[in-house]
Amino acid sequence: MSLVVIGTLAYDSIETAHDSRESALGGSAMYFSVAAAPYVQPRLVGVVGGDWRDEDMKLLARRGVDLAGVESIPEGKTFRWGGRYEPDWNTRHTTFTELNVLESFEPKLPAHYCQSKFVFLANAHPQVQMQGLAQVESPIFSVADTMNLWIDVARPDLDQLLHKIDGLILNDEEARMLTGENNLIRAAQRVLELGPKFVVLKKGEHGAFLLGEGLHFSLPAYPVTEVIDPTGAGDSFAGGFMGWIAKTGNAYPDTLKRAMLHGTVAASFCVEGFSVEELANRTLDDYEARFQDLQAIVTL
């Protein structure tokens, strides 16, 4: 079924202990779309500047992404971000952030996007997320991502958003910041009290868990032998997670549990290359094979 994602497209400059990339394709909605594409045709909503490369639009098109919702501002410059990772991969330093066209972005959904049944609000200001969600007429299932910046500077807007969505995806640090709870189980329970019906807490290399009414499920990360670049892993997880749910056409508890495995598979492909160098080349058969591997790991 139809899946729309509203978020950012960007150019990232990444430095790791092993290598670096300048102006690599990035952004929350971009990673999400590439990860979700093996399951369903994602409808992408975002904004780019005149510096956006034709080759990157073609890559997304080849992946099967619906690009009708991508706004181009020829006189503007695409959102850019720079980051440096420590050798342990868990510590990331932002070296620069240039909002550029993102600073005045207001999502505008094409008419057919407004009929989408599944919605993902990728990391963006909560007001932007609510503007996008308001244009979808009758979604079956809506999920949002957030980050510590919005928890810090836009908490009233975020609180309002939490009452409008079905699910929230965030990492352990963000959960503690949002709720004031150090214990992650209590933090997840507190998130549920803020409005969403379920919450996914990402724990990086330690996996993720899912909590909600009648739901308590956890699993490890897929054992990748070499991490190349962890940028976008969380957005790729969300893409695999929501892509499977949209393909299935429902958000029943068993579907959400299986979606956790599909999200974990997508994230594992993402970290094996810079940007989407690895992820964009993976097919549904690749996803399914790794899903079977992960299922064997977590099943008695």
| Domain membership of residue 114 as a residue range | 3-298
- Assign 78 a pLDDT band (cuts: 50, 70, 90): very high
Q: What are phi and psi of 95, to 5 degrees?
A: -95, -30
Q: Which DSSP symbol is given to 221?
A: P
Cα–Cα distance measured from residue 251 to residue 62, given in angstroms and rounded to the nearest whole number? 28
Q: pLDDT for 90-122, tens place per residue?
A: 788 899 999 999 999 999 999 999 999 999 999
- Assign 203 a pLDDT band (cuts: 50, 70, 90): confident
Is this structure's pTM higher than 0.85? yes
For residue 54, the domain's CATH number is 3.40.1190.20
Q: pLDDT for 159-185, tens place per residue?
A: 999 999 999 999 989 999 999 999 988
Stretch 72-79: mean pLDDT = 97
Q: pLDDT for 135-161, tens place per residue?
A: 999 999 999 999 888 999 999 999 999
The reported pLDDT for the residue numbered 234 is 93
Total domain count, the chain: 1
Q: Is 68 helix (H, G, I), strand (E, B) or coil?
A: strand
CA angle 75, 102, 156 (to 5 degrees): 155
The reported pLDDT for the residue numbered 116 is 98
Higher pLDDT, 243 or 203: 243
Alpha-carbon distance values, 25 to 51, 136, 141 (Å): 12, 27, 28
Mean pLDDT of the residues in the chain: 94
Stretch 64-68: mean pLDDT = 98
